[in-house]
Structure 1
């Protein structure tokens, strides 16, 4: 199979779909890989490194899309990229379609087979291709929140860990999954006063056993969310409903109860955000203020640590990319139900039920499209 890797064009996105090591693996399996010139610069891998791994260097994205059978990316295709998709393309990348009607419409129109990293599953019910980026984003959320709390960045001027004789910052993490766990770990490590909210009894038990007295673990009732948001210096939104839009748990009304200069970091912004006042921002302009509360809603947080993120992502995506290239998409998805769960759009049909439900498309089960 001929595989194409375009340079990412989303604002301040420095990751790349395949590392040189992943290219070498695919080439060893008999496949051809074309990498756009400069695609790996953000991870410190120049064109010569990719050539040494067996890749052909394409001059631009148009050349990549024109020749490839499978496109491997990181972020959702931007409008210019969607215009180059064809009905004989396989697209393998993050999509996050539920809050993105324009992208969904364009992918349906293209006829391409679009497999989303974030809905591929595993035997434990987890999301293995989302997990490493959730780990990165969870850890980065605390760094970003700590910076936003500085007075020069519009915050309250509070140090997360405080100092002897001065209270540490109050940090509330809403959601105790992968993002929330990693955010809490970082905040606890910085000696903040940390509370984690979740509705799952098993998650509450797991978090309580892990953190013991170093973090408080509370059931996420509406009253509890409102109470802890009001008291917090930093609130991290770490809620995920796989494939669907994130529920908005912090309302505009709640902002009036918060202290001026408090910070909200919405890690769920890829799925529409879990704060009512959230809107996507970029690394170039990461924050804005609503009712005195600083919002950080960067939609590609892991892109700022591109090398770490790219290698962590390739560790989990490469086996699936090899399977798709070796077998073709129909056989690969037939053989692997977990990879099949990643199919979101194919041949003009929406095959992810939450996306179809939110955006008003007819849901067509993946096996029907494969058949």
Structure 2
């Protein structure tokens, strides 16, 4: 920290005033001591005896001039006092500069940091202040992100609800106004309104599920489940639906039991979402592969893969965001609510695991990493590249 000219002058005057006061104090003390010795013969004789009894070195030198010794000690004391006063004032100036920097930051210059380098506790204070500013800015950014996220959520939900609601009102309006030519038209209108109502209910259910699993402290019903058996059940459940879409679903690595502690119902929701997406967006492919295996120590890895069209690279980092759709379409005929993968990720987070996704011309693979024991938490590798399952 560089001192200003005014501060240097202030330090200099502080030193001069301190020296003058100390010299006056020293002179006063010497005069008082001499006056006491001259007016008190007993004291004078006692000092003489002390001088005579004190010897220094092998040659037995006597201390006859006590005034010189006293003055030397006083000078050492004076130097210590002057140093202490100047250092104290210098620290006050440092504090004044730090406070000035704080006022500058508080006036809205949040990108500014205190760049002074000090020693000892003062440097710790500066580092703590900079860390506090960083924390405040991070909290403000997170709060803005939350507000933007809420606005985006309201916008997306409003849009997704308004579209089918408009259709429902339109067709029910036609029915109410008797603007249909036959009973077949009436049945057609009611069927469309019913399908749109189911679409709205599905969105509301997904939204409710998403908000529920995103809440901290969401209760889980933890049981010991066999992943291998769950994979076989999933294959049986989706076999007919996959076949209708020209896909064959199969499971590998299920010949031996693999037990983990998890919420079976919520994990089922995760796999249902992933397999449903694989059926919906895997058109053009022929296979959906499920596999479970042991990963790193204490970790189970479940792969849900399909050989359909690959996911664009730019979409891989956004695919788990709520309401995100790879086709950037809000048409419910081509895309779902956009909440399925966000729900899946939230459920896996609750279990202490994570989901990774890779996609190339051969396979698109969602890899679910789960700890064997509930309560453990897995760390995501910095560069998580999931190996594709060889076929």
| TM-score grouping bracket, smaller chain normalisation | under 0.3
Structure of larger gyration radius: 2
Higher strand share: 1
More helix by share: 2
Please report the TM-score for the alignment, with normalisation by the length of structure 2: 0.18
TM normalised by structure 1 equals 0.19
